[in-house]
Structure 1
Amino acid sequence: MFRHMVLGADDPGAARVFYDATFAAIGVGPASPDTKGRFVYRHEGQLFIIGRPIDGEKATHANGGTLGFFAPTAEAVHAWHAAGLANGGSACEGTPKERVSPATGQPVTVAYLRDPTGNKLCVVYEQEQA
């Protein structure tokens, strides 16, 4: 459904360290800089872009907004969470856990973090049904 997502960051260097580490844990390669000084992550035809807001104003995060990413395994969810905490992120909504997705009714392993700017992120492993 998504082609690209863009998040603002007041410190793009700190954001790159955080996202390089957390994305590596779920199988996404490191960022490449673009011509506007932002960092671009490419994965399976999708783009995730982080950098200073184009309008020059301070970056802000969405109240009630969450960006969710797929993880290839439950272990990757735990690795993503640990990498984020070790690279400038902060915990929110506790530790990684197994639960039933309220959106799909399927079992999932899920974890949440805030990036260095305060954006709320989630990573989800959708468990296979037996």
Structure 2
Amino acid sequence: MYTHVTLGSNDLEKARKFYNAVLAVVGVSPAVDDSDGNGHKRLFYKKGDFFLLVSQPINDEVATPGNGYTVGFKCDSEDQVVKFHDTAVANGGTSIEDAPGLRPSGLFLAYVRDTDGHKLCALYEPSN
């Protein structure tokens, strides 16, 4: 259903360090550099048919995190959720909400904010 998510960044090199490390946990290769033709730089991450783009805002305004949204990343185990969380924190992210763990929904989750304040979730759905 989705093809991509784009997140704005005010510091692409800081974002590159963060996302290269964090996304490696879920099997994503380091960023490919790109430009929009007007000189705005972007980082492209690809897994399967899905893209994550981290970009300088094309309107030349300051990038700000959205209120009320979360970008979720599918993990293959509880250990991978914890590693995603810990790698994010070790690379400039911030742990938010509850510690990584099983929630009443039955999902094993961890929440962090990236270096620009975007909310990310690592999610594992244990089999029944």
TM-score between the two structures when normalised by the length of structure 1? 0.91
Q: How many residues get paired?
A: 124
Q: Tell whether 2:59 aligns with 1:55.
A: yes
Aligned to 1:109: 108
Residue 98 of structure 2: SS of its match in structure 1? coil
Aligned to 2:34: 34
Residue 99 of structure 2: SS of its match in structure 1? coil
TM-score between the two structures when normalised by the length of structure 2? 0.93
CA drift at 1:28: 1.5
Q: Tell whether 2:117 aligns with 1:118.
A: yes
CA drift at 1:99: 1.6
Percent identity for Structure 1 against Structure 2 = 39
Query: C-alpha offsets along residues 37-64 of structure 1, whole Å, 9 cap, x if unaligned?
Result: 2100000111000021011100011111
Residue 95 of structure 1: SS of its match in structure 2? strand
Detail structure 1 runs of 4+ shifted over 3 Å in the superposition: none
Unpaired runs of 5+ residues, structure 1, are 102-106
Q: Tell whether 2:67 aligns with 1:71.
A: no
* Matched letter for residue 109 of structure 1: F
* Matched letter for residue 6 of structure 2: V
Residue 92 of structure 1: SS of its match in structure 2? strand
